[in-house]
């Protein structure tokens, strides 16, 4: 299993009070430390040894977008760690009626020990963090989904026993999930291939930064428009919905563009026999993934979903 350096205390001290807006904000050592922390907290939870390290602390959770896994995992995570979580629909806050982001951040800092926000705009979340004196955690924006990627690495580490050197294939839309996944894989020294249709590639700047990280850590990043090339010899295959929230008007266009990118029995045959299938959920069966794959013996999507709880706890226990 993953073990970080002997500087764990120094890493934890360096992360305390920080924001988590993107995995680009962290060093590779810090990312692996959070994975190692999640593994320990998951073990402590199962053995009934979890300490209430966040007793008396409150996390405010702001949602501009619907959520199942993000809301529940953060809320339960705070309870597990002895703290409290407060759900706030953005439409119910004054921020939804014109109060400035800066004023909102300053006010929230007076009440809360941390803020988790699931928002439409990454730029808005960055602005909020600039004016908030407590840690701000990105629960999803239009560009990044860092906590999901931490749970993804945790799941791969549990199943494969390590991260470095494994090939990870992402098939589908070059979206926020793909951006955080490619950064996470680069931090871990994995070899990741992103297979997308033409016109749906990842953000070029994100890919360039990921390539530099991967090179430093002994991994690699490859982009292709050929799904077979992407999954060939893969240890892990990952996909996401073709049409994300806010893109509903593009649904028919995307169905046509992505029709050859379904993760099905024919495609996974090019991967290693013991490949693992991941999906951040919710899934549209028989669209981006065949039912036979997501419900098959190589699928770890529910273990992956469950690991959102433990990855979130690692972030909360460290930052707060």
Alpha-carbon distance 134 to 138, whole Å?
13
Integer angstrom CA distances of residue 249 from 174, 176, 194, 254, 255 = 18, 18, 25, 10, 11
Q: Would residue 84 show up in a list of annotated catalytic residues for this protein?
A: no
Alpha-carbon distance 95 to 106, whole Å?
12
Q: Would residue 284 show up in a list of annotated catalytic residues for this protein?
A: no
Q: Which of 80, 191, 279, 308 is catalytic?
A: 308
Q: Which of 36, 280, 304, 312 is catalytic?
A: 280
Q: Which of 19, 36, 148, 254 is catalytic?
A: 148
Q: Would residue 308 show up in a list of annotated catalytic residues for this protein?
A: yes
Q: Would residue 118 show up in a list of annotated catalytic residues for this protein?
A: yes
Alpha-carbon distance 124 to 102, whole Å?
10
**Measured CA angle at 293 (ends 290, 294), to 5 deg:** 90
Angle between helix 8-15 and 301-319 (nearest 10): 80
Q: Which of 69, 80, 122, 145 is catalytic?
A: 145
Q: Which of 240, 254, 304, 312 is catalytic?
A: 240
Q: Would residue 147 show up in a list of annotated catalytic residues for this protein?
A: no
Q: Which of 69, 118, 254, 279 is catalytic?
A: 118
Alpha-carbon distance 207 to 99, whole Å?
35
The residues, ordered by sequence, that sit 6+ positions from 248 with a Cβ below 8 Å of its Cβ are none
Q: Would residue 148 show up in a list of annotated catalytic residues for this protein?
A: yes
- Residues annotated catalytic, as ranges: 118, 145, 148, 240, 280, 308
């Amino acid at each position: 299993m993953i073990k970080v350096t002997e500087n764990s205390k120094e890493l934890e001290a360096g992360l305390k009070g920080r924001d988590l807006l993107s995995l680009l904000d962290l060093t590779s050592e810090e990312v692996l430390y959070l994975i190692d922390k999640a593994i320990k907290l998951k073990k402590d939870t199962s053995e009934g040894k979890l300490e209430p390290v966040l007793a008396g602390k409150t996390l405010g959770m702001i949602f501009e977008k619907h959520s199942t896994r993000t809301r529940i995992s953060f809320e339960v995570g705070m309870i597990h760690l002895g703290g409290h979580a407060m759900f706030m629909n953005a439409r119910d806050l004054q921020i939804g009626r014109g109060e400035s982001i800066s004023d909102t951040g300053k006010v929230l800092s007076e009440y809360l020990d941390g803020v988790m926000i699931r928002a439409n705009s990454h730029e808005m979340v960055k602005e909020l963090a600039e004016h908030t004196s407590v840690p701000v955690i990105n629960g999803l924006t239009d560009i990044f989904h860092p906590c999901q990627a931490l749970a993804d690495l945790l799941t791969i580490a549990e199943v494969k026993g390590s991260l470095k050197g494994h090939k990870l294939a992402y098939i589908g839309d070059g979206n926020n999930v793909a951006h955080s996944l490619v950064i996470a894989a680069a931090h871990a020294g994995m070899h990741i291939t992103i297979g997308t249709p033409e016109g749906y590639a990842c953000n070029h700047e994100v890919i360039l930064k990921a390539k530099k990280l991967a090179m430093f850590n002994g991994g690699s990043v490859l982009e292709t428009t050929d799904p077979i090339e992407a999954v060939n010899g893969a240890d892990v295959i990952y996909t996401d919905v073709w049409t994300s929230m806010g893109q509903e008007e593009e649904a028919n266009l995307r169905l046509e563009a992505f029709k050859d990118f379904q993760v099905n029995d024919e495609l996974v045959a090019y991967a290693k026999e013991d490949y693992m299938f991941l999906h951040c959920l919710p899934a549209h069966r028989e669209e981006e993934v065949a039912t036979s794959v997501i419900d098959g013996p190589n699928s770890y999507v529910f273990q992956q979903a469950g690991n959102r709880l433990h990855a979130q706890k690692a972030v909360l226990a460290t930052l707060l």
